[in-house]
Structure 1
Amino acid sequence: MRLFATLLAGSLLAAPALSQNFDVAALRDAALKDDVAWDITEGLTTEIGPRLAGTEAEARARAWSVARLKALGFANARIEPFDMPVWVRGEEKAEILSPFPQKLVLAALGNSGATPDDGITAEIAMFPSLAALEAADRAQVQGKIVFVDHAMGRTQDGSSYGAFGGARRKGPSIASKKGAVAIVIRSIGTDFHRNPHTGVQSWEDGASPIPAAALSLPDAEQLNRIIARGKPVTMKLTLTPRNIGTRQSGNVMAEVPGRDPSAGIVLVGCHLDSWDLGTGAIDDAAGCGIVAAAAKRVMDAGKPLRTIRVVWFGAEEVGLRGGIAYRDAHLQEKHVVLAESDFGADRIYKFDSYVNPAALPVIDALATALAPIGIARGHNQARGGSDIGPLAATGVPVVSLSQDGTRYFDLHHTPDDTLDKVDRAQLAQNVAAWTAMIATIANSPVELGPVAPTGGK
């Protein structure tokens, strides 16, 4: 009897020890054969499809997501709803009437104004860049359909998106303030398929909504060639989007409870909504699959020190509404680190951080864990992704796992954002990297902050 009691006591002591000792390398290597991320990505894009923010499709996606996270074994799977105004697409047509009549392929930008049902007809005023439009006199623009071109190219880190994306984000407001009747831009993309790239833009104070659309790259180049012939170019444009009022979106979240509730939260996120042209596989069903699959691997290995919170944000595409709602609802909670997967599913090639210098030994350990799968260490000035950005800006540490974005803007916001573009081996490498990151940080007692607030939304 005494021997049994001794053995029982030993087993009770050993069980917590086992749950606290995570073999990060073994978890990482096992994740290279992961299929959970693929199953989530395939299921979400097949069973729901496009998930435009605030629509019935996004609502179905939230219900689907809660059921899937529960089935995977996560705790506290739930929806935190918020209200938002909703814009939906209508008819989209463009054609050159003179001097060389032909149709063009385009897609309305988010929050675009509408033409009359029978369209508008006006002369084109072409500008080779956003800067040229900004510098233009009102007389060059007033009463015309503005066309803004640019020279965005492929980059591994996606930096060209920031450099050239202003044509979409700011161009419509600038054109409106100068009296344009509409604006078309060269899509913010890098492919030469005849697929336009949509995306959100918001009207600045003093700008009245006008029809705003993006031409596919081949059509933008065709329009350039027509204009280069030196004759006035007249376009007929028909866009009939509409605002349907206030609807509900929401953030889906679930947790792996930690051993120490006071140790804080490791938040790993993605966004659930997508644009309506494709099925949102690259942007961002794959990201949701990646973070959930990695968190599940850590969960299945034992109970981590810190709570891991998986957040599938809503309404990212239309203005980071989910990220802002999360910040406002959870600002007072202790977040140890924030990380987000929202740049496709191609392999991770480096990582950056933003932690207190005293916590860099934890980042050293993470670098050691990631190096065997080809991931290099970057800088300690990361600012986070889209949805974690609002909370990160208040002074929360960040880890950023950088995916190869060389082909990302071939697919981004286009009809080509579909499941077949996801490479399963590269998807699994993402899961391996995220598994190593979560296991390393969720089980370290070292505080990664404080860090200085970076400002912004």
Structure 2
Amino acid sequence: MTPPSRPEPTAPAQIAADPPAPSAGTVEALRDAVLSSSQAWETTRSLVDEVGPRFAGSPGDRAAVAWAQRTLTAHGLQNVRAEKVKVPRWQRGHEAAHLIAPYPRDLVVAALGGSAPTPPRGITAEVIAVPTVADLDKLDRKAVEGRIVFFHARMERTQTGTGYGKAVSIRTAGPSAAARKGAAAVIIRSVGTDVERIPHTGAVFYQADAPRIPAAALSVPDAEMLERLLAKGPAKLTLTLDSKVLPDAESANILGEVPGSSAPDEIVLLGAHLDSWDLTPGALDDAAGCAIVIEAARAIAALPRKPRRTVRVVLFANEEFGISGARAYAAAHAAEIPRHLIAIEADLGDGKVLTASFLGSDTARPAFEALVRPLVPLGVTFIPDDAHGGSDLIPLRALGVPLADLHQDATRYFDVHHTPNDTMAKIVREDLDQAAAAYAAFAYAAADMSGDLGRIPEDKRQRR
């Protein structure tokens, strides 16, 4: 899962020409070393090829936990440990969709994560088409009751990924909205920017005030065909999903550290999520993010002069299906929360870092701008927008921990997001290395800065 993206940036601000920090030479050398000799591609390959799909509670999840412990240790991190996390389990089972009228044919479909099953023989019903949840809300219940609701909003391709934030509610909120009006099931146009006949899965968030009805995503070509047919007249289809909820399972957050030289109790957190959806090896989402933060920490650990504070890597459990790991981390480390200087998450694939933004004390913005100055030669621009933070940082944001976004180019990311097509073939090595260099330079600069970055103001601690 990728969080709703930040707004399109306003005009870039000029970075203040403050004197360089004492660590500036080290930061620049570190940045250039990672750029020229990064191991991020090999780390991504290792997770994708040696573990593969790693959905919460699955055998692949357990293999990923073991992989992460081995890999962080091999890359020179200290205090490597697994912190147990309870995760939900859901099994996909058989899934099928068949158009009955006006022209019989099979459709390519994937159950949405957490979907309720259909009866064994499926649900056969007429289809009613609406673009968005807001459009559905305008309809009378009689127009919806007993039908299969088809949400067909298109996702816009953008460099910042804002199209995802605008479109994803048809997946997350659409099924409960349809159920409140008596719908039998929901199908959606896949939330993605490709035109391949491969559906995108992703979580559905059922609400307590609505029945849990089956929900699935159609591939974009099939969704467009259905939309064309419905523009001409009625359509009927059968949806069959054999999904089920299983008992919770045990997973783990994996932590590893580069201990600080003089203030080891203070923490700069680098996060990524270890899990993937069940259908995909998850090269971009989020093996690349894991590799970026591991490479940043590896490079810092190899330096003769360590930064003042501890750089902590956290590979979170179950981001995709409910941020279980994020909640467990915040609870387990409650006593340390005041000592977290800043947190950042890599969860946007292999794209180059384009912009840097901050959420913390307003008075600390000049200090943050100084931290990102060494990223300018990589093509990174500071923008004044508030940072959004990755999904795994939601609990830390609520507690006031400052956040940074090193926002990556999302132009290609949603072509394969949550699909079996998210493979190593999609990784652009040069872009991945640039991102790793940016994270490494930022992490060292933050961990070695004097002063702090304050806390997020109370009125900005909840995501909107």
TM-score (structure 1 length as normaliser)? 0.93
For 2:138, the equivalent position in structure 1 comes to 135
Pick from 83, 86, 89: which aligns with 1:86?
A: 89
Give 1:380 shift.
Answer: 5.2
Number of positions where the alignment pairs a residue of Structure 1 with one of Structure 2:
438
Maintained 8 Å contact 2:55/2:275: yes
For 1:270, the equivalent position in structure 2 comes to 272
1:408 partner letter: Y
Equivalents in 2 of 1:249, 1:406: separation in Å?
32
Give 1:21 shift.
Answer: 7.9
2:229 partner letter: I
Percent sequence identity over aligned pairs: 45
Question: Using a 3 Å threshold, how does the CA distance of structure 1 residues 349 and 20 change in structure 2: closer, same or farther?
Answer: closer
For 2:348, the equivalent position in structure 1 comes to 343
1:145 partner letter: I
Pick from 344, 366, 373: which aligns with 2:371?
A: 366
Superposition pairs for residues 27-426 of structure 1, below 5 Å? 27-230=30-233, 232-261=234-263, 264-301=266-303, 302-333=305-336, 334-379=339-384, 381-426=386-431
Maintained 8 Å contact 2:264/2:308: no
Maintained 8 Å contact 2:24/2:445: no
Structure 2 gap segments, 5+ residues each: 1-21
Equivalents in 2 of 1:323, 1:34: separation in Å?
31
Equivalents in 1 of 2:372, 2:123: separation in Å?
57
Give 1:226 shift.
Answer: 1.2
Deviations 1:220-272 (A, max 9, x none): 00001111122x21101111111111111221111111123465100000000
1:269 partner letter: G
For 1:10, the equivalent position in structure 2 comes to none
SS where residue 192 of structure 1 aligns?
Answer: coil
Equivalents in 1 of 2:366, 2:245: separation in Å?
51
For 1:13, the equivalent position in structure 2 comes to none
Equivalents in 1 of 2:37, 2:330: separation in Å?
31
Give 1:40 shift.
Answer: 1.3
SS where residue 383 of structure 1 aligns?
Answer: coil
Maintained 8 Å contact 1:36/1:293: yes
- Alignment RMSD: 1.6
Give 1:409 shift.
Answer: 1.0
Equivalents in 1 of 2:401, 2:407: separation in Å?
19
Maintained 8 Å contact 1:92/1:106: yes
1:299 partner letter: A
TM-score (structure 2 length as normaliser)? 0.91
| Structure 1 position 23 matched with structure 2 position 29 | no
SS where residue 392 of structure 2 aligns?
Answer: coil
2:461 partner letter: G
Maintained 8 Å contact 1:359/1:446: no
Give 1:331 shift.
Answer: 2.4
For 2:5, the equivalent position in structure 1 comes to none
SS where residue 106 of structure 2 aligns?
Answer: strand
SS where residue 244 of structure 1 aligns?
Answer: strand
Pick from 442, 451, 455: which aligns with 1:450?
A: 455
Maintained 8 Å contact 1:32/1:428: yes
Name which one, 1 or 2, has greater alpha-carbon Rg. 1
Maintained 8 Å contact 1:356/1:448: yes
Structure 1 gap segments, 5+ residues each: 1-18
Equivalents in 1 of 2:267, 2:455: separation in Å?
14
Give 1:383 shift.
Answer: 3.0
Maintained 8 Å contact 2:360/2:457: no
SS where residue 379 of structure 1 aligns?
Answer: strand
For 2:8, the equivalent position in structure 1 comes to none
Give 1:39 shift.
Answer: 1.5
SS where residue 243 of structure 1 aligns?
Answer: strand
Give 1:33 shift.
Answer: 2.1
For 1:429, the equivalent position in structure 2 comes to 434
